[in-house]
Structure formats: C-alpha cells, structure tokens
C-alpha cells in the first residue's frame, strides 16, 4: 500500500496537506460571527451539550464583537507581522456556524473571503444544522475557493450522543456528511474519545465506522471536564476514569493504525484553558504528547493505516 505521506511522519499531517495544496505555510484566522446552537437557544435545550461550559453561552463577551471584516483584518495583520504569513484560511469556529438564515450566511462567508491571501473557508457546525440550501451555497463558493465543512460527529454511538445531550443521532451525521461529500466539499469530522458510555473496544471499533463515512480529515479530542458544565456536576458527584497521558498516547497509536491513511489528521490531542479545566490535568504539553505519539509509532515500526486493509478483509 502506497502511503500518501512520508513514513517518517507516521501519520497524514494537516500542515503537509496545506503546503501541498497551497504551496506554502497557511494559517487559520478564527472568527466569531455571533452564532448560537439549537441546544442553547431553546430549540433543543438551553444548557448546551453536557460537556460545554455554560458561562460561554452568555452574551456579555459578544457585546463588543468586531465585524467579520474587522476580525479578518486584525488576524491577517497579526500573522503577517509575527510570521510573514501570506496565505490564510477563514475559520468560522465558535458555536454552530451554519445556524442562521441563508442571506446572513452568504454575507459573512463572502466578507471573510474578500481579502488578499485568503485561500480557504473552514466552517464548524453540527450534523442537524445543514440543509440543501446551505450545501448549495457552499458548493457555489467551492468553485472558486477551498471550502471545508467541519462537522461535530463526537461519537458514532447513539447511546453516547443521547448521554452527551447532543440533540441529534448518528443517522443525521451520516446524512449530513453524505450531503456535503456529494456536493464535492471537503469534510472534517470532530470526534471525542473518553466518554464513560464507551469502552476501549468500542472506541477502536468506531474507527471502521469513521472510515466508511469517507471523511477527508479528522480532529480527535480527549474528553475534558470543565467548570460550570453539567458534566462537571456529574463527574464531581461520581468520578469516572479519564485517560492518563500514556493511556492517550497508546490509544491514539492504536486508533491511527486502524484509520484510513488518506484521512488527514488535523488534531490528535485537545486542550482547555487551565483556569476552567477540572480534569484530566496532564503534565505534558500538547507538543510533548505529539512527539511521544510519533515516537511510539516509530518504536512499533507502525504508521497510520498499517492495519487498515486487513481490517476490511
């Protein structure tokens, strides 16, 4: 099997993908367009998903939000002054970034693209906040610029989605990804490992399901317990096991070995603000974790997708 990445990398890195696609280093500019979510605005609930920090739902921090052009200009200036970066991805990251009327979505997406050096549009959203009209809009934009839809899969198991109070089931995830892929869009799946509803076998078994979704990229995140979330109340009342650093490193290596090597890895470890994090509190930083994942794969003489073909036989 010919790998789409150098064996020394051990997995299919996002930075390499971007360099090959755009010819040089590309940085994301994170944008907040003032969106909310159906689990927050009363449509499906008011407290968000079980792991969300409820203080983030308030409008206080949004009173002085800059416009999208202002946020883009500020981000581009900062990146160029610091690193002389010349190419950028407009990243609608905060909350559910397709959760509005089509006219407003078209306006802000196009505003973010109206700057020299912007080569792509990244949009984070939920499976139940995508429809044909939105897909058609993104498909039209994709004709002239790279568009990636980042869909919060979180889990492939309905029991977990229900426990996490996501407000959607896995079938909706399947349909939303199919809709985006049929339109020719790049799709990244956001996925959380460590839910108390899933054991290690179920986590690793989920890789085959993810492979079958035909996603282009994935972001992996370990479950965090953050202050002022419903999960914090649950955890403090009855603590359940969370991954240690070493357990995470071994799990990710096992996960990568089963994952289709063509899937680009956009993240292998999450982070949270130290002043809001209850658990797990790791001593190793993100870079150290990534280095140990690579070292562990090298020690195994392994890489992303090593067990991919044999698992499909």
Tell me the C-alpha distance between 196 and 38, whole Å. Answer: 24
| pLDDT tier at 313, thresholds 50, 70, 90 | very low
| CATH 3.80.30.30 corresponds to the domain 7-312 | yes
Length reported for the chain: 313
**SS3 track for 113-180:** HCCCCEEEEEEEECHHHCCHHHHHHHHHHCCCCEEEEEEEEECCCHHHHHHCCCCCCHHHHHHHHHHH
Phi, psi of 232 (to 5 degrees): -60, -40
pLDDT at 54: 62
pLDDT digits (tens, 9 = 90+) for 264-311: 999 999 988 888 999 999 999 999 999 999 999 999 999 999 999 655
Picking from 49-63, 127-141, 146-160, 212-226, which range would have the lowest pLDDT averaged per residue?
49-63
Q: Which of 255, 254, 289 is nearest to 270 (CA)?
A: 289
pLDDT at 274: 81
Q: Which of 188, 34, 19, 266 is nearest to 119 (CA)?
A: 19
What is the model's pTM?
0.94
Tell me the C-alpha distance between 268 and 252, whole Å. Answer: 7
Does the pLDDT of residue 58 top 80, yes or no?
A: no
pLDDT at 81: 86
Task: Enumerate the domain spans of the chain.
Answer: 7-312
Task: Give me the mean pLDDT over the 227-250 stretch.
Answer: 95
């Amino acid at each position: 099997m010919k790998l789409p990445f150098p064996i020394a990398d051990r997995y299919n890195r996002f930075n390499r993908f971007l360099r090959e696609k755009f010819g040089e280093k590309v940085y994301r500019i994170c944008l907040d367009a003032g969106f909310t979510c159906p689990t927050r605005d009363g449509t499906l609930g008011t407290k968000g998903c079980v792991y969300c920090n409820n203080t983030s739902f308030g409008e206080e921090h949004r009173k002085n939000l800059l416009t999208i052009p202002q946020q883009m200009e500020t981000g581009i200036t900062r990146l160029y002054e610091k690193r002389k970066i010349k190419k950028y991805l407009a990243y609608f990251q905060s909350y559910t970034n397709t959760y509005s009327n089509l006219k407003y979505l078209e306006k802000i997406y196009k505003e973010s693209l109206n700057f020299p050096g912007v080569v792509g549009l990244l949009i984070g959203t939920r499976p139940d906040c995508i429809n044909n009209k939105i897909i058609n809009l993104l498909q039209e934009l994709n004709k002239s610029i790279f568009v990636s839809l980042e869909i919060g899969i979180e889990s492939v198991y309905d029991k977990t989605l229900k426990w996490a109070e996501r407000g959607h089931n896995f079938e909706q995830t399947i349909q939303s990804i199919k809709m985006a892929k049929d339109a020719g869009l790049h799709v990244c799946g956001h996925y959380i490992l460590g839910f108390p509803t899933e054991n290690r076998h179920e986590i690793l078994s989920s890789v085959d399901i993810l492979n079958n979704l035909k996603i282009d990229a994935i972001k992996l995140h370990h479950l965090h317990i953050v202050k002022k979330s419903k999960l914090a109340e649950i955890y403090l009342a009855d603590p359940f096991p969370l991954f240690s650093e070493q357990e995470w490193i071994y799990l990710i290596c096992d996960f990568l070995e089963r994952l289709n090597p063509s899937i680009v890895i956009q993240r292998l470890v999450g982070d949270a603000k130290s002043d809001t994090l209850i658990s797990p509190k790791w001593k190793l930083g993100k870079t150290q974790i990534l280095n140990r994942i690579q070292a562990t794969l090298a020690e195994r003489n392994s890489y992303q997708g090593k067990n991919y073909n044999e698992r499909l036989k």
